[in-house]
Structure 1
Amino acid sequence: MTYLPPTAPVLDEHGRPADQIRLLGLSATGHHGVLDHERVDGQTFVADVVVHVDTRRAAATDDLVHTLNYASLAQDVVAVLAGPAVNLVETVAEQVAALVLDRPGVVAVDVAVHKPGAPVPVPFTDVVVAIRRDRTKLPSARFDPTAAPAASVAEIATPRTVEDAALSVAHAPVEDPDPAPPAPDRLDETPGGPVRAVLALGANLGDARATLREAVHELAQTPGIEMLAVAPLARTAAVGGPEQPDYLNTVVLVATALSPRQLLHACQGVEQRHGRTREVRWGARTLDIDVVDIAGIVAVTDDLELPHPRANARAFVLQPWAEVEPGAFLPGLGGGPVDALAATAPDRDGVRWLALDWLNEAPAPVAAPARPAAHAEPPAPPVPLPPEPS
């Protein structure tokens, strides 16, 4: 009894393909059907359930509270299969989809209900009703396994319509359990002492070099942030999004006593002071500051993912970082030595030049190294910050 779920990916609200949790081969004896003997004798029903969710936060925290409890879900699905009889397998599938979508974090669900003993008068191996439902296409039939009473033999022997079955369900009040306290969010935890962080800055509107220079000064003046080093300035072709001017990019190394989320908000404050808006995905911008890494933390939340999920494939981040910090290492999935990642990044040919002394008024651009960063000459020492204007 094999069922192949739809191959088309389900996208989450950010346009990313959702992960899948699959429960296959859940079975129970049910009395669903329109014929008298189906209601009396019963037969085996089997359900395959594919739940589309985001599992990254659960993987990063190793905490069950951030994922789907599939043991509980399996029990609920079996309760539908063995529950009050309905006429159609389609109704059973809708009820299963509804109880899955009631769970938080579920983007969509694929449900296949098998009825291998269906009364079909020719040789066959299976009957399957397969549906996909999401929050824009909610199921039309629902099931509450905690409220449905057990059906008596007399009730089973008397066929009922779906509407009759719905009217016979008892609605006994059920007290909601006390909610579990929310798990602590490590991205709100202030470190015991200053920790190292990597920030990537970019701009391609207006006087981008002046904007980046001002942004570096503002970050250095932010309480809880100490500027350690500033990388060379890279001129790079825009990656993704609409046609737009080249970018100027750099990386700064800082020591921070702020929590990861406080550091994110500090960076967003600098962006906003320079007129940053977020209207077009990957569009042109006056200033962009990304938190790339904080003390090697690996975490996923709605507003911050560490390390930055695309840093491992962005030469405009990796190459300046490798220049200012030889031997740097990007943690997390897809990470590795920064110089090696820079040498293989898909956009590495889009790095036009590097300016080693860009914080001064007369930067001296040099061509981007033709050889991989791992075999390049030793980089120039970090550029010291210029004195604050009087």
Structure 2
Amino acid sequence: MTDRITLTGLRARGRHGVLAAERELGQEFSADVVLHLDTRAAAAGDDLSLTVNYAEVAREVVDVLAGPPVDLVETVAATIAERVLAHPRVLAVDVTVHKPQAPVPVPFADVTVHVHRRADDGDGARDVVLALGGNLGDVRATLAAALTQLAQHPRVTVAAVSPLLRSEALTLPGAGPQPDYLNAVAVLRTDLPPRELLALCQGVELGHGRVREERWGARPLDLDLVAAGALTWQDADLTLPHPRAHERAFVLAPWARVQPEAVLPGHGPVAELAAGLGPVDWVAEDWWEA
């Protein structure tokens, strides 16, 4: 579920329409816009930078209504939606454009065109880098089962899977020792928005007994979204790219194996970053079958 910010009755005089008189005389248009986003981080920090400035959105909508004329109200609505989705925190938008003075030859109250667009509609499917790990139980079997579950989702394809490696557990200062981890990276091809994919992964973790009680505690399964191309994302539950990926050989080395030319936004080529962190302990090549 997402939160919403609604702007109602934004108005401007425009010259949109297919008739010459509409272009010459103009008429009043109005728009209602609903922004779908996650406002929890903004509310927790009382921070405008973590939400959307609706005054800016309002100005942009009016600019479109009053801007260069087009033939169709559908084009006006789609243009508004595109402008709104350029704000990185907007997950989806509903736009209703009203044309109450449309040249309709019978009595009527209004003509409206409504469009709904999601932030991922324009890009379609994208590659998402997923880090997998675990250090409790039969980890190899658990990682394989988790990938199989993700691959069964109708909007997820497992495009590539790295070899398995063994890594020393990261623990908090003063914490007791833990078993070593098995780790891998998979590239998922999906059109799911980041938060929906995160929810899917957390559901898979839960099904394999993951309990989020201790930070960096031992666990049967850990699924982390690492990167989604050049997409940047930050809210209370998810940051993309992963803020510590550049420090972790157990993420970078397997990622470089499946995407040798990959770049971690803000840090550089993944293969170079991995090489700078030294060798890793590879333990299995072909460990998962689609």
TM-score bucket of the superposed structures, by smaller chain: 0.5 to 0.7
Paired letter, 1:266: L
Contact 2:165 2:283 in 1 (8 A): yes
Paired letter, 1:344: G
Paired letter, 1:205: L
1:199 to 110, 130, 144: 130
Cα 1:311–1:56 change in 2 (3 A) is farther
1:212 to 143, 167, 175: 143
**Which structure 2 residues correspond to residues 132-151 of structure 1 after superposition, within 5 A?**
none
After superposition, give the CA deviation of every residue in 1:207-231 in whole Å (9 maximum; x if it has no partner): 0000001011011111211110111
Paired letter, 1:336: G
Gaps of at least 5 residues in structure 1 are 1-52, 66-182, 360-384
Name the residue aligned to 2:89: 185
**Which structure 2 residues correspond to residues 75-94 of structure 1 after superposition, within 5 A?**
none
Name the residue aligned to 1:313: 247
**Structure with the larger RCO, 1 or 2 (CA within 8 Å, 6+ apart):** 2
After superposition, give the CA deviation of every residue in 1:250-288 in whole Å (9 maximum; x if it has no partner): 000111111111011011111011010111111110100
* 2:273 aligned with 1:344: no
| TM-score relative to the length of structure 2 | 0.58
Counterpart of 2:225 in 1: which secondary structure? strand
Paired letter, 2:153: T
Paired letter, 2:271: D
Name the residue aligned to 1:264: 198
**Equivalents in 2 of 1:279, 1:291: separation in Å?**
20
Higher strand share: 2
Name the residue aligned to 2:282: 353
Shift of 1:324: 1.3
**Equivalents in 2 of 1:287, 1:329: separation in Å?**
26
**Which structure 2 residues correspond to residues 246-325 of structure 1 after superposition, within 5 A?**
246-325=180-259
Contact 1:194 1:257 in 2 (8 A): yes
Paired letter, 2:183: N
Name the residue aligned to 1:244: 178
**Equivalents in 1 of 2:90, 2:286: separation in Å?**
37
Shift of 1:205: 0.2
Gaps of at least 5 residues in structure 2 are 1-43, 55-86, 93-118
Name the residue aligned to 2:161: 230
Cα 1:252–1:236 change in 2 (3 A) is same
Q: Which runs of 4+ in 1 moved over 4 A?
A: 53-57
| TM-score relative to the length of structure 1 | 0.44
Paired letter, 1:185: R
After superposition, give the CA deviation of every residue in 1:317-351 in whole Å (9 maximum; x if it has no partner): 0001111111111113xx21001111223xx46x3
Name the residue aligned to 2:110: none
Shift of 1:233: 0.5
Which structure: larger Rg? 1
Name the residue aligned to 1:331: 265
Contact 2:169 2:179 in 1 (8 A): yes
**Which structure 2 residues correspond to residues 88-107 of structure 1 after superposition, within 5 A?**
none
**Equivalents in 1 of 2:242, 2:156: separation in Å?**
19
Contact 2:163 2:282 in 1 (8 A): no
Counterpart of 1:215 in 2: which secondary structure? helix
Cα 1:336–1:202 change in 2 (3 A) is same
Paired letter, 1:190: D
**Equivalents in 2 of 1:340, 1:287: separation in Å?**
28
Shift of 1:54: 7.3
Root mean square deviation of aligned Cα: 2.6
**Equivalents in 2 of 1:255, 1:216: separation in Å?**
13
Cα 1:185–1:204 change in 2 (3 A) is same
Q: Percent identity?
A: 51
Paired letter, 2:144: R
